[in-house]
Amino acid sequence: MAVIRDTIPAFELFQPTSLEDALALKRRYGKASWAYAGGLDSLDWFKDRIKRPDAVIDLSGVAELRGIRDVDDGVEIGAMSTLTDVETHAGIQSDFGLLSDAASKVATPQIRNQGTLGGNVSQDTRCSYYRGGWPCYRAGGNICYADTPTSINREHALFEADRCVAVNPSDTAPALIALDAKFVIQGTGGEKVVDAEDYFITPSTDITRMTILEPGDILTSIRIPGTWKGAQFYFEKVRDRQAWDFALVSVSSAMKISGGKIEDIRIVMNAVGPRPLRLHDVERQLKGQSATEDVGAAAGELATLGNRPLQHNAYKIPLMRNLVKRAIRGLEV
């Protein structure tokens, strides 16, 4: 069978208007179904004829999945809210600016108008080999083309690689982990609420997936508790060009300062591993310390311990170290 790309094969399109109907469709088609949010990731797969679902379930007509609501001390964001909605929401901007900042750095205005928060956190990896349809581990094969002495792997992982060396490309996912968000999932087992951190998986759990979503599941909303409301936030994404580009490395942090000392902190890197990498050791080390350049530099050193660079991505080590330092130092200068 000859290979051809760039032409979407036929599929059955469903446009449910309720979550119940969407879930029923997921149940009916199981692995042959595809939940379609903004389409930025999905259409790439479809047009390359690599992922070929029988049933595409377009979630854009499900009103329950949209909207940003104040809940208790925090906010609940429907998974189908666009990244622009998230970026421009006044409450998120004032209380959880880390998320609006991260959302504002995604791709381009057009993509943010179309792309959704649920889609952004659930997107697949951008490894060129995997996206190119190579029969790699992640695609069900038994080799990683990106991890050989001649591979092109500048954008790949420093940490948590296991056969596959691809990274999570999301900008909003690490910000949500830093904000201790909860992801609400509806599926075969009813409603499930998980910590943002636990939504993402490594190849050792399942090499073919980036998240815990099972074929029958739909991510319905993301709840941000008041815990980190108004904390000191830092987001920085380093990329090759300033629009329409994924992170080479990003840092998201939330920090509470009290009496000149770091009372509490959450700090998460992305694009360095198969899931957003929360720096637990760094967080522990930083508590009770002052948020200074030196403390930041030491934290950066600790953050990069245990890295395993590939042929082309060792630059991510100092980059990560420096981004941690900048997050602690705080001011983007």
9 binds another protein (CB under 8 A): yes
Say whether residue 205 binds another protein (CB under 8 A).
no
Instruction: Tell me the C-alpha to C-alpha distance, in Å, between residue 11 and each of 52, 57, 122.
Output: 8, 10, 22
Q: Which of 218, 322, 327, 328 binds another protein (CB under 8 A)?
A: 322
Number of Cα atoms under 13 Å in the Cβ half of residue 128: 8
Candidate list 79, 323, 327, 328; residue touching another protein; CB under 8 A = 323
Candidate residues 89, 138, 156, 325; the one interacting with another protein per rule CB under 8 A: 325
Stretch of residues binding another protein (CB under 8 A), selected from 149-157, 170-178, 253-261, 263-271: 149-157
Member of 236, 266, 278, 299 binding another protein (CB under 8 A) = 236
In the sheet that 190-195 helps form, which strands lie side by side, from edge to edge?
68-71, 74-78, 218-224, 182-187, 190-195
Minimum distance, C-beta of residue 324 to another protein, in the bound complex (Å):
11
- Residue 122 near residue 222 (C-beta atoms within 8 A): no
Residue of the chain from 75, 83, 219, 248 that contacts another protein (CB under 8 A): 248
CA distance 333 to 331: 6
The long-range contacts involving 69-73, CB below 8 angstroms and separated by at least 24 positions, are 71/223, 72/225, 72/226, 73/225, 73/226, 73/229
Nearer to another protein, 1 or 90 (CB): 1
Number of residues binding to another protein, judged by CB under 8 A? 45
Cβ 312 to another protein shortest distance, Å:
4
The 3-state DSSP composition of the chain as helix, strand, coil percent (nearest 5) reads 35, 20, 45
| Token pair for 126 | 């951008």
Binding mask 41-70 for another protein (x = CB under 8 A): --------x---------------------
Complex with another protein: residue 42 or 186, whichever CB lies closer: 42
Instruction: Compute CA 160 distance to the chain's CA centroid, rounded to the nearest angstrom.
Output: 16
Question: Looking at 72, 90, 142, 150, which residue binds another protein (CB under 8 A)?
Answer: 150
Backbone angles phi, psi at 69, to 5 degrees: -120, 145
Question: Is 83 or 319 the residue whose CB approaches another protein more closely?
Answer: 319
- Specify whether the CB–CB gap between 73 and 32 falls below 8 A: no
Q: CB 296 → another protein: shortest distance, Å?
A: 11
Nearest to 203 by CA among 146, 159, 152: 159
Choosing from 72, 190, 260, 333, the residue that interacts with another protein (CB under 8 A) is 333
Q: Which of 148, 204, 205, 208 binds another protein (CB under 8 A)?
A: 148
Binding-site ranges for another protein (CB under 8 A): 1-10, 49, 108, 128-129, 132, 145, 148, 150-152, 154, 236, 238-245, 248, 311-315, 317-319, 322-323, 325-326, 331, 333
